[in-house]
């Protein structure tokens, strides 16, 4: 018997009467409408780097954990989309995570709608700071695409890089993290709306490591109250 997971990852109904058919209406050849995806929670994918950031409080949501860094984030989200075939059932991808900032205060939840690679530096070959060489699209700063949901509205710029910021070097962006740019780029290329919400754990300074370890699990309640509880019935 074919499993529900296999049939879901295939991305369409074969019409052969599979017992575990996950599509509705069932057993309709070519149907790509997964059961339950009329629910806005099911149509929203939440992407986080680490489980410690969510404290087991997102059981009612579709959550993808990527691990730390741009490579892991790119691989995991691309793998997730690839398994879904040509039909991606999400109309919104939300990145939630922790971040450092020298503009926003510790304990603040910030929305990020612009993203750049803070550690991309090929200025020696004549390219602009943060520009990927020989790549003209997307632009240096990736902006949100067709996002209608943003209950905070600060519209911060997030600088993503494969380093944990503890000093003034490599500090591009109002918020600094290690995954958001990669996630934003994958969603840009797949044409899936994307937005990021970051809980500020530290000041991206000499105390960053101690502050992050102390605050990493504190933001999830605020994220649920200020973001997830405000998800509309439809997007």
Is residue 86 left, alpha or beta, with left meaning phi > 0 and alpha meaning psi from -120 to 50?
alpha
Low-confidence winner among 64-78, 145-159, 160-174 (lowest mean pLDDT)? 160-174
Average pLDDT over residues 146-169: 91
Specify the pLDDT at position 35. Answer: 64
Query: All domains of the chain, ordered by start, with CATH?
Result: 1-35 (no CATH), 37-230 (3.40.50.1580)
Beta strands in the chain (DSSP E): 44-48, 62-65, 92-100, 109-117, 142-143, 156-160, 175-177, 194-202
The yes-or-no verdict on residue 217 having pLDDT over 70 is yes
Tell me: the pLDDT tens digits for 12-34? 788 888 987 877 788 888 776 66
Q: Which of 17-26, 141-150, 221-230 has the highest mean pLDDT?
A: 221-230
The yes-or-no verdict on residue 210 having pLDDT over 80 is yes
Cα angle value 233/234/235 (rounded, 5°):
135
Average pLDDT over residues 191-214: 92
Query: Which residue from 118, 49, 98, 65 is spatially nearest to 212, judged by alpha carbons?
Result: 98
CA distance 46 to 199: 15
The yes-or-no verdict on residue 113 having pLDDT over 90 is yes
Average pLDDT over residues 43-55: 95
Q: Which of 29-33, 74-78, 162-166, 214-218 has the highest mean pLDDT?
A: 74-78
Spatial contact of 67 and 49, defined as CB atoms under 8 Å apart: yes
Average pLDDT over residues 28-44: 67
Q: How much is the mean pLDDT over the chain?
A: 89
Q: 194-202 and 44-48: which strand pairing?
A: unpaired
């Amino acid at each position: 018997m074919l499993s529900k997971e296999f049939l879901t990852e295939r991305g369409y109904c074969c019409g052969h009467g599979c017992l575990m058919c996950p599509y509705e209406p069932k057993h309709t050849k070519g149907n790509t409408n997964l059961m339950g995806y009329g629910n806005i929670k099911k149509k929203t994918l939440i992407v986080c780097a680490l489980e410690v950031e969510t404290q087991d409080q997102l059981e009612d949501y579709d959550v993808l954990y990527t691990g730390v860094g741009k490579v892991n984030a790119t691989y995991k989200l691309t793998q997730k989309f690839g398994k879904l075939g040509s039909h991606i059932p999400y109309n919104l991808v939300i990145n939630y995570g922790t971040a450092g900032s020298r503009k926003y205060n510790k304990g603040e939840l910030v929305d990020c709608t612009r993203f750049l690679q803070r550690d991309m530096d090929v200025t020696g070959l004549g390219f602009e700071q943060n520009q990927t060489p020989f790549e003209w699209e997307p632009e240096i700063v990736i902006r949100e695409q067709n996002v209608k949901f943003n209950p905070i509205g600060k519209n911060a710029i997030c600088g993503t890089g494969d380093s944990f910021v503890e000093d003034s070097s490599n500090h591009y962006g109002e918020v600094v993290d290690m995954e958001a740019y990669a996630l934003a780029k994958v969603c840009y290329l797949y044409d899936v709306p994307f937005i990021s919400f970051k809980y500020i754990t530290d000041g991206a300074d000499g105390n960053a490591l101690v502050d992050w370890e102390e605050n990493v699990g504190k933001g999830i309640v605020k994220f649920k109250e200020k973001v997830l509880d405000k998800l509309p019935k439809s997007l």
